[in-house]
Amino acid sequence: MRKTAILIFIIFCSCSRHADPYFEQIKSNDVKLAAPVYGDWLFSRKEKGQTFEQYQKSKHIVPTKDSNIIYLRPIGNFNVLQKRQIELLNEYLEIYFQLKTKTLEAVSNDIVPASARRMLYEDHEQFLAGYLLDSVLKKEKPLNRIALMGVTEVDLFPKPEWNYVFGLASYRDKVGVSSIYRFQDGELTSENFNRCLSRLLKISSHEIGHMFGLHHCINADCVMNGTNSMEETDRHSIRLCSVCQQKLSSCIKYDNKKRVKELEKYFLRNNLTDGYKLMEKDINVIQ
C-alpha cells in the first residue's frame, strides 16, 4: 500500500512538472461571450460545448508522417487581389495549425456542370456546394493530405430552398469548400482587402478546426464560435480561446509560444490590427 502511494505521488509530481503553464496564463485574456440576441447562432441553438477532457476522449484525426499536410484547392477564375488572398490564407493556415500547407493548381469553373449551377437572380450565378465536395474534393488524394479546403470566387448554395452559404464541409472526409464571394462585399478592392482577408482566415480556420475534432465553442469569444451571419462572424474573435488552443495543441503537439509569436508577426505585416493586438496580449502574459 505504501509503495502504491509513493508511486502515485511520483507520477503526480512528474505530471505537474511537465504541465504547460501557457494555457493558464493566456486564460486571463479570454473574453466572456455576450448574451446572444435574436439572429445570433446561440439564440436558437442550445449547444453543450466541449471540454478539454471530452476532446481528449473523442475520436479525431492526429497528424502522422503519412498524413500531415493541409491543402488548398482554388476553384475558379481569380483576379490578382483574389489570388493574393489565397496566398495569405496559405501562409496563415501553416502558422495557425503549425503544419505544412500547400496550394494546388487552380481548376476552372468548367468542372461544375449545369446541373450543379443556378442563377439566384440576373447575372448572379451560384454553385452547388455539395457537388464541389462530393464530385471534386473528396476524389482528390494529394500526397500526405490531412485536410483539403476548396476556395472559390463564385457564390455557393447548399440546397434549393437556401439563398446561399459561406461554405460547406465534410468533417468525416476532412474536406471543405468556402466562397470568398460574400466576404468581399460585392467586389474585392484595396479598401476592403483586409476585411475580406480577416473573414476568410476566420471561416477557413474554423472549418479546418472542426476537421481536427473541435466543436463549436461556448466557453469564450473564440474563432470556433458558431455564427449565423457575416455580421456575427465580424464580431467574433479571430483568436482561439485558451480551452480550444489546448485542444488543438494536444492534437498537433506544436510549440505554443512559437505559434503565438508567428501569428503576431503575420497580423502585424498584413495590417490586421485586431489580430495583432490579441496575439500581443497573449505574448505579454507568457513572458
Annotated active-site residue in 87, 140, 153, 207 = 207
State the angle between helix axes of 193-211 and 273-286 in degrees (0 to 180), rounded to the nearest 10: 50
Q: Calculate Rg over the CA atoms of the chain.
A: 20
pTM for this one?
Answer: 0.91
Q: Which of 193, 243, 225, 189 is nearest to 43 (CA)?
A: 225
Which mean pLDDT values do the consecutive 10-residue runs of the chain (287 residues) have?
A: 46 48 97 93 92 96 97 97 98 98 97 95 92 96 97 95 91 95 94 97 96 96 94 96 98 97 98 98 93
Q: Residue 19 has what pLDDT?
A: 62
The rounded distance, in Å, linking the Cα atoms of 223 and 136 is 27
Give the model's pLDDT for residue 90. 98
- Domain ranges for the chain, please list them: 22-286
pLDDT at 8: 42
Q: How many whole angstroms separate alpha carbon 180 and alpha carbon 76?
A: 11
CATH topology classification for 22-286: Collagenase (Catalytic Domain) (3.40.390)
Which residue is listed with cell 508511486? 7
207 is catalytic: yes
DSSP, res 241: P
pLDDT of the residue at 21: 94
Beta bridge partners of 75: 107, 152
CA distance 218 to 171: 20
